[in-house]
Structure 1
Amino acid sequence: MSKITIVTGLIISLMLGFISATSSQAQETYIDDKCKQNQQLNESDRFTVTYKSEFQTKGQTYWLYSGQYIDGSAIVCISRPGFKQPKPLNIKQIQSGYIEKITKDSRNQTAYFIIVRDGNGSYVPVTQYRVNLSTPERPITAKIKSWRSGR
């Protein structure tokens, strides 16, 4: 009887693990190259949202979000909540690389630090930018520092 219980428990555990892995995959959010949400995109046409943050400026609420393509390259977007009025953030230096990290500036709720790798290999230039979105149509970008990756 105990062998049957153990085997049954193992089967249930494996099934629950599979269900959990499947449902977490189903919760991913996909966007296209224009930052528009679309859960029906093929893998080769989509970016998977890896970062999303809400901020307010001038009485309006916005989302800053980033999506990663299958090769690791990224797109950084801005929209109204619910992916309404989406568009790529108009900052060439950020859109042309691989986003390593985005963090909110704790001193300014409309500013973010964005670390961009200029390639997907070893010893590539890496730059940290500070992006102020107090006027989302005209973001202010400042280069904070640069270095070479050690990977």
Structure 2
Amino acid sequence: MPKNTLPTGLIISLMLGLVSATPTTAQETYIDDKCKQNQQLNESDRFTVTYKSEFQSKGQTYWLYSGQYIDGYAIVCISKPGFKQPKPLNIKQIQSGYIEKIAKDLRTQTAYLITVRDGNGSYVPVTQYRVNLSIPERPITTKLRSWRSGR
């Protein structure tokens, strides 16, 4: 048997069409600067959704999501499921920087820990906030800690 033959599993996969010659990627979700989903936006007009989480408050379901612009700048949004009634989260400190991380606060179902960089370079101020969305129309923001980035 020659040493450079294809393994039997790969041959069967190719015959059945299970191996694609072109790479596939998941469909990215795009939003505009008002948090509305729009898959037809030009690259210079869109934010790519990089984080999305569902939570409940007062018996209603909401989405908290973040979109990133081509230069890394971010927008944080809130909506009903399916991007219905979208709007930017009304928190100046969160909307004025680069989102480094968003995570659910494990202590409550309606709070998130959002880490914001004040710039896109080295040694910029970084601040972590706790955002309580128990009343989504009036989020409560608490500054937890600040430091300078090391990169």
In structure 1, what is the equivalent of residue 22 of structure 2?
A: 18
Aligned-residue offset at 1:23? 3.3
Q: Among the aligned pairs, what percent are the same residue? A: 82
Unaligned stretches of 5+ residues in structure 1: none
Residue pairs, 1:1-150, within 5 angstroms:
6=6, 16=20, 18-19=22-23, 22-24=24-26, 27-150=27-150
Q: For 1:137 and 1:2, locate their aligned partners in 2 and report how far apart those are by CA, in whole Å.
A: 69
Aligned-residue offset at 1:18? 2.5
Deviation readout 1:70-107 (Å, 9 max, x if unpaired): 00000000000000000000000000000000000111
Q: For 2:21 and 2:132, locate their aligned partners in 1 and report how far apart those are by CA, in whole Å.
A: 42
Whose radius of gyration is greater, 1 or 2? Answer: 2
Q: Decide whether aligned partners of structure 1 residues 2 and 16 sit closer, same or farther in structure 2, where only a CA change above 3 A counts.
A: farther
Deviation readout 1:34-91 (Å, 9 max, x if unpaired): 0000001010000000000000000100000000000000000000000000000000
Aligned-residue offset at 1:5? 5.3
Q: Decide whether aligned partners of structure 1 residues 69 and 2 sit closer, same or farther in structure 2, where only a CA change above 3 A counts.
A: farther
Unaligned stretches of 5+ residues in structure 2: none
Deviation readout 1:97-120 (Å, 9 max, x if unpaired): 000000001110000000000000
Tell me the amino acid that sits aligned with residue 56 of structure 1: Q
Q: For 2:124 and 2:21, locate their aligned partners in 1 and report how far apart those are by CA, in whole Å.
A: 38
Q: For 2:37 and 2:48, locate their aligned partners in 1 and report how far apart those are by CA, in whole Å.
A: 10
Q: For 1:90 and 1:67, locate their aligned partners in 2 and report how far apart those are by CA, in whole Å.
A: 15
Aligned-residue offset at 1:16? 2.2
Q: For 2:46 and 2:22, locate their aligned partners in 1 and report how far apart those are by CA, in whole Å.
A: 24
Aligned-residue offset at 1:138? 0.4
TM-score when normalising by structure 1: 0.88
Tell me the amino acid that sits aligned with residue 70 of structure 1: I
Deviation readout 1:9-36 (Å, 9 max, x if unpaired): 69x6xx72623xx332xx1100000000
